[in-house]
Structures are given as C-alpha cells and as structure tokens.
Amino acid sequence: MAVLKVRLPDAAEDWVREQLGRGRFGDVDSYIADLIARDRDTERSRDALVAALIEGEESGTSDQSLGDILHEIRGS
C-alpha cells in the first residue's frame, strides 16, 4: 500500500475533520479512499455518457416521427 503526504489548506482540513466528526468515516484514509472511488465512478460514468453521445451522433438521422418513437418506447 502506498503512503502519500498531502498538504491541504486549513479550510479543506477543517472540512475533512468535520466529515470524520459526523461518523461516516473512521479516519482520514477512509475518507480519501472514498473520494477517490467516487471520482473513479464519476469518470467512468462520464466516459460512458460521452461514448453513448458519440454513438448517437454517428448513427445518423431517424426516419421515424417523434410519435412513432414514443409509441415504440411505450409499447402501445
């Protein structure tokens, strides 16, 4: 396991201590690990969204009307 030394502004350190005081995390290491995990998830979600948008743009224009699409989605 790696050890990192991080310098934080006083306001950021106060925020971390406040989060620990709320009892969600047992220590600073757990809090930072959670932040990194959530950042990774956000990045993966963003990448998936961008890929879906690109796929949609590259798929071309639909010949269906909006009503046809809604009818298909609703299964009616």
Model pLDDT for residues 1-46, shown as the tens digit of each residue: 889 999 999 999 999 999 999 999 999 999 999 999 999 999 999 9
Work out how many domains the chain is built from and give that number.
1
Q: Examine residue 38 and state whether it is found in any structural domain, yes or no.
A: yes
Domain assignment of residue 45, given as a range: 27-53
How many whole angstroms separate alpha carbon 60 and alpha carbon 76? Answer: 25
Q: Examine residue 3 and state whether it is found in any structural domain, yes or no.
A: no
Q: pTM for the whole thing?
A: 0.70
| Nearest in space to 6 (alpha carbons), one of 26, 36, 41 | 36
Q: Examine residue 48 and state whether it is found in any structural domain, yes or no.
A: yes
Radius of gyration of the chain (CA): 22
Q: Examine residue 13 and state whether it is found in any structural domain, yes or no.
A: no
Q: Examine residue 63 and state whether it is found in any structural domain, yes or no.
A: no
Q: Examine residue 11 and state whether it is found in any structural domain, yes or no.
A: no
Q: Examine residue 62 and state whether it is found in any structural domain, yes or no.
A: no
Q: How many CB atoms lie within 10 A of CB 16?
A: 15
